[in-house]
Amino acid sequence: MQTAPDNPPVIRSREGAVLTLLLNAPANRNSLSAPGMLEGLLAGLDELDADPDLRALVIGGAGGTFCSGGDLRLLAESSEPDIRTRMNQGAWLYRRIALSDKQVIAAVEGAAFGAGLGLACCCDFVVAARNARFCCAFVRVGAMPDAALFWSLPARVGLPKARRMMLFAEEIAGTDALGIGLADELAEADGALCAAQALAARLAHGPARAHARIKAGLRRAPMEIEDALAYQLDNAPGLFASADFREGAAAFFEKRKPVFRGA
């Protein structure tokens, strides 16, 4: 495993086909406003998308916290144009995660509040430790949700639950997150990162092209029936004609595990 030196705001490490980005500003509770944090995350996404040998990404947080969101002091001292500029910059993070062809998994220990909730919900999978806490905390300080949460939160928990989380800023424990769809897997305390990396490794061995088209299709959900039929017609024939499908079919008949190569 290769890990970035010194003490960067985002620690990048790699194990096989899985890249891990660890938010590393514990003094700021891994705020996305910490110096270099946004740039470090975007650089990691650049690496993920540019390297064909990388198949999945895990995002976690150091120091027992996933991400506390934005810096309230900085926001309170900023003008509306300044805030608009920062939000436009931050929008690239959520957009890049959502539009990447590769699978992104959040490993949540401790707090995922505000924009930190948005970061987790934007990922394809969320692994929550039992000590995780999720909160759409914006109304506590007289603000409204950002961080793509009007897209990602209803898609995860449904509109009625998303409305309640946004309007009442109720905290959701890690042990409850699985039941409402906010998390996909539950891990023991201090075990979310390892569980997320294991999940990422499973995905990395799957058919990359099929995974990419599934992700792109789900990004458009819910679809009307004609849109769904058109999407499958645009994408499925090419997958059935691919080398990965031929390998998968051969492995089925030979009663062995397929070896997908993303072709």
Which tokens go with 202?
């499973």
Model confidence at 161: pLDDT above 70? yes
Share of the chain above pLDDT 90, in %: 92
Output the CA torsion sign for 72, 77, 82, 83: positive
Residue 72's pLDDT is what? 86
Residue 94's pLDDT is what? 96
Question: How confident is the prediction for the chain on average, in pLDDT?
Answer: 95
Model confidence at 4: pLDDT above 50? no
Cα 259 from chain centroid?
26
What superfamily does domain 2-204 belong to in CATH? 2-enoyl-CoA Hydratase; Chain A, domain 1 (3.90.226.10)
Residues 6+ apart with CB under 8 A from 113: 67, 68, 69, 133, 134, 135, 137
Model confidence at 233: pLDDT above 70? yes
Model confidence at 70: pLDDT above 70? yes
pTM for this prediction: 0.94
**From CA 73, how far away is CA 216, in angstroms rounded?**
37
Q: What is the pLDDT of residues 77-87, one digit of tens each?
A: 989 999 999 89
Among all chains, which residue has been given the structure tokens 């993920």?
A: 48
Q: Which of 43, 42, 34, 45 is nearest to 9 (CA)?
A: 34
Quickly list H helices, 29-79.
37-50, 72-76
The CA-based dihedral angle spanning residues 35, 40, 42, 47, taken in that order and rounded to the nearest 10 degrees = 170
Helix (H, G, I), strand (E, B) or coil at 128: strand
CATH 3.90.226.10 domain range(s) in the chain: 2-204
